[in-house]
């Protein structure tokens, strides 16, 4: 940690003053909100986030198979409904995945903040001891 103009600065040059974590978390929240908003209604292009049939609930797969075996008139009536349910299930899975990633990042960031806080306290205590000795 480097001190510039009385503020602690990490190696990347980020300001670690008291207001900085607030700005950082506000930015993280805005980024997550934007990501979740952009997921709605967008086609799934990321293969990593594209759930396969095996990731769909078993009941939904069975329902889809049974509808495929119906007469064409009944199938044409039910298929769009099942497709909407499948799409919403996949969208929920993608959103859940995004939220899990965001929580993982939040946990890691909290560990970094706690480490930085402990280091800052140690530095403060060491500085107080030196000033008390003089």
Q: Look up the pTM and report it.
A: 0.51
Q: What are the sequence ranges of the domains in the chain?
A: 25-133
Q: Is the dihedral of CA 76, 81, 86, 90 positive or negative?
A: positive
Segment 3-30 shows an average pLDDT of 53
How much is the average pLDDT of 100-127? 94
Q: What is the mean pLDDT of the chain?
A: 76
Q: Is the model's pLDDT at 86 over the cut of 60? A: yes
Residue of 120, 106, 89 lying closest to 3 (CA atoms): 120
For 57-71, write each residue's pLDDT tens digit: 899 999 999 999 999
pLDDT at site 134: 74
HEC assignment per residue over the chain: CEEECCEEECCCCCECCCHHHHHHHHHHHHHHHHHHHHHCCCCCCCCCCCCCHHHCCHHHHHHHHHHHCCCHHHHHHHHHHHHHHHHHHHHHHHHHHHHHHHHHHHHHHHHHHHHHHHHHHHHHHHHHHHHHHC
Model confidence at 47, pLDDT cuts 50, 70, 90, reads very low
């Amino acid at each position: 940690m480097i001190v510039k103009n009385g503020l602690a600065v990490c190696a990347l040059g980020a300001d670690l003053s008291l207001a900085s974590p607030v700005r950082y978390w506000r930015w993280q929240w805005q980024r997550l909100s934007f990501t979740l908003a952009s997921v709605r209604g967008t086609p799934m292009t990321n293969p990593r986030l594209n759930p396969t049939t095996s990731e769909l609930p078993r009941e939904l797969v069975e329902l889809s198979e049974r509808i495929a075996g119906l007469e064409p008139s009944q199938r044409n009536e039910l298929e769009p409904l099942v497709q909407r349910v499948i799409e919403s299930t996949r969208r929920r899975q993608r959103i859940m995945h995004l939220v899990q990633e965001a929580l993982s990042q939040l946990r890691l960031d909290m560990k970094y903040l706690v480490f930085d806080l402990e280091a800052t306290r140690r530095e403060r205590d060491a500085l107080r001891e030196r000033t008390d000795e003089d």
